[in-house]
Structures are given as C-alpha cells and as structure tokens.
Structure 1
Amino acid sequence: MGISGIETQPRKGARAALGALFLAVPLVLPGGAASGFTLPEGCTAFATVQMRACGVLLFWRCDHAPEGSFSQASFSGEGLESVVSYNRDYQWLDAAYSWDSSREQYAPPAADPISRSDLIATGIDTFDFAMHRSTPGERYDIRVLGADMLTGTTRMIDGYELEEVGTRLEIVDDEGNTEYASQGTQYYSRELGLFFTGSEEVFGPDGSTFWDDAPVDIILPGEPRFGTTRPFYGCNSQNAAFPLIAPYPAQQETENDPL
C-alpha cells in the first residue's frame, strides 16, 4: 500500500527542507518543460497524478537505486508536503514530512513486510513492521500494522482501470500508544504498478475525520502538465493552481469521470 492519510491530511506549520533525501539537481522534463522541484542526480520522473483534494503526486526512479524501487513526492497548494521511498514490493523504506520536520526509516527485519505480490496473488496482504522515527527533538521507534484487501470492484479514472483496495492501518509508538489509526479505500493500477489514495476515515481521541482524495488526472511523460507540482483541483481561491483558461486535453478527458 502507499502511504495514505499520514500524508494526505492538510499540513500546518513550518516547511522543512527535506534535504536528507535530495541533491539540488534541476528536474528536466520531456519537451523542455521545467519544474521548481528537484530530483537527485540520475533520477527520472515517470508519472504525475493530480488529486481531487488540492494535491499532486510526483513519482520517479533512480539509476543507482535497487531494481524496482521508486520514490514519491506529495504537494499541496502550499508546496512540498512529503517524500516517500518504496522498494519493488511497496514496502515503505524512508519517509520525510515537512509539516513537523520528521523522518521515518525502515527498521528491518520486519515481522510481516508489505507485499504487493501477496496482495495481487491472494487478494489480501497483512503487514507488521518497525520504523525509526526522528523529529528535531526526539527519536523513537514506531510499529506499523494493518492489512490491504482487494474488494473486487474496479473504477475507471482518466482512462485507467483501477482496482479498489480496502485498507486498515495503525501506527503505535514504542510505549504502546496509538499515534495514528485509519481505515478506508485506495486504488491500484496494475498497468502502472502504483497505488493511489481514495477515501479514508482517520480516528482520533475526539472522534473521526473523513478524507476523500482520489486521483483525477494521471499524467505520463509527453502529456500536458507532466511534472507540474501545483494542484489543479479542490483548492480554494487563495491557493488556486492556475488561472481560468481553456482546459488542456488531459483535463477534458476527466470531465466525465465520477468524483
């Protein structure tokens, strides 16, 4: 599963550099397009996804990384929110969040690592693993556990057939306190090999909060607005991503998509 509600919740507070995961090398996109975001040297973006709740995902691979591994950056109307790296089976390896300047790093061996292969082969994948969490003033271990299950339902979004995945997630600190708990739906594209967020209910001491952040546009190299890190959809007037102009073809394709 992809990291979902942890990174899709609106973020408040200071923006961090996230420099531990990057080198300051400009991102070069096909057709001469340019982005304000930077990637490490030897890395190439392969997909941009515009989300319905004022968010953008940018995916890339690096020549020097293990085969099949990749990374994902999430952006809101305010800028960079998080950067996450995965292995070929979608196990979380490294995650950095701008809202609290925190970082989480995989701590193997795992009791039960995330396995996309198991999910596809059997329809269900359970997981239970540890990560080292660090903030500017604190370091401790967290335990991540839960399950993903294919529901058998599919949905067409921007010309791609996405499989619905029921998710359950809990994050527990090293004293046994629940830091985060949620359940909801994600989407998986077998064609692209990527997970996308959907709807999610996040539980807290004061009740639960519901989020709905499904993909709207899935943009590949050579398509209009590939590499753009400003959100198009669901933003208020203060952080709207672009002026009111005629839509690009990629937007026109999604006008009839269910939202």
Structure 2
Amino acid sequence: MMRGALVVLSLIGSQAAAADSFALPQGCTAFLTIQSHSCSVEHHFTCAADPEGVKRRVSLSEDGLTYLGSTDEDAQWLSSFYPFTNHRERLEDNPKDPASLGALLKTGSDSYDFQTLSDEIGTTRYVGEDRLTGQIVTIDDVALQQTEYNITAFGADGSTLWSSKGNEFVNAKDRMFIGGTGTVTVPEGPFDKDDRPVQFIYPGEPGFLSANPKFDCGAILSSAPSVTPKEISDDNL
C-alpha cells in the first residue's frame, strides 16, 4: 500500500506544476475543492487503487504544493509528504490510542496517542484530544460541527517539538476534519494560524480543482516552522 501511495504522490507532484487546473493521477477522482484563508486551496479525492475508505488530499499555496496526504475511513491519518522539506511520514502499526472520527461523533470527544515514522526525521509522537463544542457553523452553505482541540508533538528523545490548541471543524457528511483557527507554540515562541474554509466547491462548479488559492494571498504572514500537520484533526498547522 505504501509503495502505491508514494507513486500517487510522485505523479501528483509532476502534474501540479504551472497549471491553472490541478491534474489528478489516472484512476483518481476528486470530490471537493476547498478555498481557505491563509492563501491555501486543497483538493480531496479518492483513487481506485486504494483500499475502500481511503481519502487523499493535496494542498497548494502561492508557492505551489505544500502537502500531500491520506486518511482512512475513520479519518485517521495514514501518510504525508511535505514537498518544501522533502520528507515523508507514515502512521505506525497498532497505535497506542488511535484517533477516531467515529468516536468523536458518537461521544463528543476523542483522545489520541500515536507515532509517525519517517526515514528523514525519525519518530514523532502525537498526543492530544478533540472535542465537539456543540456549535454548528455554516460556511458557504455547508454545515460544519465545531471542534476544540489540543495537540503536542514529541521527538524521539521525549522533547517537545511543538504544541497547538484552537478550534477546527468536522464535516460529518464527508467524514473529514477541516482546518480552523489556533495558536501553535514552538521553541521560538507562539504564532497564530487561520485556516478556516471560505468556499466549498464541488464537481461541475466554477473553481473546482483550481490550482490557484484565492484568499489572503500576498499578505505577510507569521513565519511558521516546518511542523507536521496532524491530518486526522489539526488539519493545517
């Protein structure tokens, strides 16, 4: 499965450059484009070669591809590739406390404690929790459940790499987490992020699969380090 995933990621990287419309690899079908704050556009899609329930996402900024990743049927993060730092991460086998969108929707809260493995940067441990606030937020005619989250990333030696807390969203219909607002704290200090969605664009609508982000572009944003997004919940750190 991992070899196939890397092939897909490679194909995406080669096809996305210098295009007004983002081109998916053969055998893949997009179902949603999201234009967000902080000059980001992302495309959600599935691929026929993947196991049932696996979804993929690609994110682009003014500078090009920023993220490629996949999640399973429970919105649990599986794999990620970060073009700017050129490193990949994959979920360990048998996590201590797997993240679960199903548990969050059923009980209103979900804790997690898992590790990612990377040939380039080693092992990273993620510990945190998501909670539903009970608020429904409608953005571009899409009803989203608001979450409150906290997450801390630890290095292989147990040192704290970064932490983040804030509010994000759940799209229960598509079984996916969507970015929101929060504060990320790194050794150099804290910075705020705003990855709230602005537009939800579906197949056949203008702007679907656009390679060009629309909102907050050209702005001078806080300099963020190369922290790893927790795809299952903290979508866009």
SS at 1:170 equivalent: strand
- Give the C-alpha shift of residue 63 in structure 1: 1.0
- Give the C-alpha shift of residue 62 in structure 1: 0.8
Aligned-residue CA RMSD (Å)? 2.1
Residue of structure 2 in register with 1:102 after alignment: 87
AA aligned to 2:163 is: A
Note the 1:50-199 alignment, pairs <5 A.
Answer: 50-135=35-120, 139-199=121-181
Separation (CA, whole Å) in 2 of partners of 1:121 and 1:46? 25
AA aligned to 1:186 is: E
AA aligned to 1:149 is: R
Correspondence for 1:23 among 2, 7, 11: 11
Normalised by the size of structure 2, how large is the TM-score?
A: 0.83
The question of 1:232 aligning with 2:232 is answered no
Name the larger-Rg structure.
1
Query: Which aligned runs of 4 or more in structure 1 are off by greater than 6 angstroms?
Result: none
Residue of structure 2 in register with 1:9 after alignment: none
The question of 1:212 aligning with 2:212 is answered no
Separation (CA, whole Å) in 2 of partners of 1:180 and 1:206? 10
Give yes or no for contact 1:49–1:219 (8 Å, CA) kept in 2: yes
Correspondence for 1:41 among 26, 49, 57: 26
- Give the C-alpha shift of residue 124 in structure 1: 0.4
Sort the Cα spacing of 1:213 and 1:237 in 2 relative to 1 into closer, same or farther, 3 A: closer
Residue of structure 2 in register with 1:202 after alignment: 184
Separation (CA, whole Å) in 2 of partners of 1:46 and 1:22? 20
- Give the C-alpha shift of residue 104 in structure 1: 0.6
Separation (CA, whole Å) in 1 of partners of 2:70 and 2:142? 24
AA aligned to 2:195 is: D
- Give the C-alpha shift of residue 114 in structure 1: 1.0
Sort the Cα spacing of 1:26 and 1:205 in 2 relative to 1 into closer, same or farther, 3 A: closer
SS at 2:143 equivalent: strand
SS at 1:183 equivalent: strand
Normalised by the size of structure 1, how large is the TM-score?
A: 0.76
Runs (5+) with no aligned partner, structure 1? 1-17, 28-33, 239-259
AA aligned to 1:192 is: D
AA aligned to 1:23 is: L
- Give the C-alpha shift of residue 36 in structure 1: 4.9
Sort the Cα spacing of 1:101 and 1:58 in 2 relative to 1 into closer, same or farther, 3 A: same
- Give the C-alpha shift of residue 110 in structure 1: 0.4
Query: Quick one: percent identity of the two aligned structures?
Result: 33
Task: Work out the number of aligned pairs and report it.
Answer: 212
